[in-house]
Amino acid sequence: SPESARSLETAELTKAFGGVRALDAASVTFQPGRVNALIGPNGSGKTTFFNCVTGMIRPDSGQVSYRGRDLTGRAPHVVARAGLGRTFQLCRVFPRMSALDNVLVAARPGGLVAKLRGAHRRADVDRARSWLTRLGIEHLADVEARNMSWGQQKLLELAGVLMSDPETVLLDEPAGGVNPALLDRIGSLVRDLNAEGRTFVIVEHNMDLVMSISDHIVVFDRGRPIAEGPPSVIRSDERVLGAYLGV
Ligand code: ADP
């Protein structure tokens, strides 16, 4: 179907670290247009999955494809150019750079060079400011990232990712360590961006957030999916409860 032709898919994705199978033949499909969530207990392979999909690490075997294109083992910038953006659990921003400069630097591969030359394009500056506004941190445009709260830094990182206009955004624990007020903003932001056509895949431990914003949830245990479905189904799935409770 045209839907699956546009999906983010893995086939039998496997990655071991020493004797540990972080991913064990994981076959997953994330359909376009959805807010997808990837959940599972600690150590179930979620981060390794993100890292394999985005080219941060190379899988031992199996495939990654997006929109029907094979991205297995491709470099992060190739994956990004294919339309997949991502944020990191431990938020990647330049601490001594202003919020505005952080977003500008993320805008394009030559962003850092343009910054050093003081030669940002007017259109990029306008776009960077409008993303800061959209994320509610425009008043911090001239503040160095290190002087922003953790949650504000996460929003800043997301603004940088959105500068490259990714069709699909992978969020690694967007709510981790974020205060409740910002948490609500992140939730509604994801829903709004999704309504405008952006697909999400979100690794998140905050189950209230996951259940309230997701269309589709995939549950990992020991390196592979053990259940998937809408929140109403996942909430009462015995395998899911078993994976979390270890029964
Ligand atoms: P999750 O994100 O679901 O918590 P991870 O993908 O981080 O799970 O980890 C899956 C398993 O792989 C864990 O047992 C973890 O200890 C192991 N692992 C992950 N990354 C590495 C690494 N770089 N070196 C060794 N072991 C790793």
User: Domain extents for the chain?
Assistant: 2-83+166-245, 95-163
What is the Å distance from ligand 1's center to 44 Cα? Answer: 8
Task: Tell whether ligand 1 has an atom less than 6 A from the beta carbon of residue 46.
Answer: yes
Candidates 47, 86, 89: which one to mutate for ligand 1, based on the most atoms within 8 Å of Cβ?
Answer: 47
- Please name the residue whose Cα sits nearest to atom 13 of ligand 1: 43
Average pLDDT over the chain reads: 89
Instruction: Return the CATH fold of 2-83+166-245.
Output: Rossmann fold (3.40.50)
Count of CA atoms in the C-beta half-sphere (13 A) of 32: 19
What is the Å distance from ligand 1's center to 48 Cα? Answer: 6
What is the Å distance from ligand 1's center to 13 Cα? Answer: 14
48: confidence class by pLDDT, cuts 50, 70, 90: very high
Give me the mean pLDDT over the 27-53 stretch.
Answer: 96
Give me the mean pLDDT over the 59-85 stretch.
Answer: 94
Give me the mean pLDDT over the 68-93 stretch.
Answer: 87
Q: DSSP letter for 126, please.
A: H
Candidates 10, 13, 15, 20: which one to mutate for ligand 1, based on the most atoms within 8 Å of Cβ?
Answer: 20
The pLDDT, as a whole number, for residue 246 is 59
The pLDDT, as a whole number, for residue 180 is 86
77 or 110, greater pLDDT:
77
Summarised one tens digit per residue, pLDDT across range 182-203 is 888 899 999 999 999 999 999 9
Could you tell me the end-to-end alpha-carbon distance of the chain, in angstroms, rounded to an integer?
38
Q: What is the ipTM of this complex?
A: 0.97
86: confidence class by pLDDT, cuts 50, 70, 90: confident
Task: Tell whether ligand 1 has an atom less than 6 A from the beta carbon of residue 45.
Answer: yes
Atom number of ligand 1 nearest to Cα 44: 3
Show the beta-strand stretches assigned E in 18-91: 20-30, 35-39, 61-66, 69-70, 84-86
- Please name the residue whose Cα sits nearest to atom 27 of ligand 1: 17
Residue 90 pLDDT greater than 80, yes or no:
no
Residue 8 pLDDT greater than 80, yes or no:
yes
- Please name the residue whose Cα sits nearest to atom 23 of ligand 1: 17
What is the Å distance from ligand 1's center to 45 Cα? Answer: 6
42: confidence class by pLDDT, cuts 50, 70, 90: very high
Q: Of 217, 214, 212, give the one whose Cα is nearest residue 227.
A: 217
The pLDDT, as a whole number, for residue 171 is 95
Residue 179 pLDDT greater than 80, yes or no:
yes
Candidates 14, 28, 48: which one to mutate for ligand 1, based on the most atoms within 8 Å of Cβ?
Answer: 48
The pLDDT, as a whole number, for residue 217 is 97
Residue 18 pLDDT greater than 90, yes or no:
yes
Residue 94 burial (CB count, 10 A): 17
Summarised one tens digit per residue, pLDDT across range 122-173 is 888 899 999 999 999 999 999 999 999 988 999 999 999 999 899 999 999 9
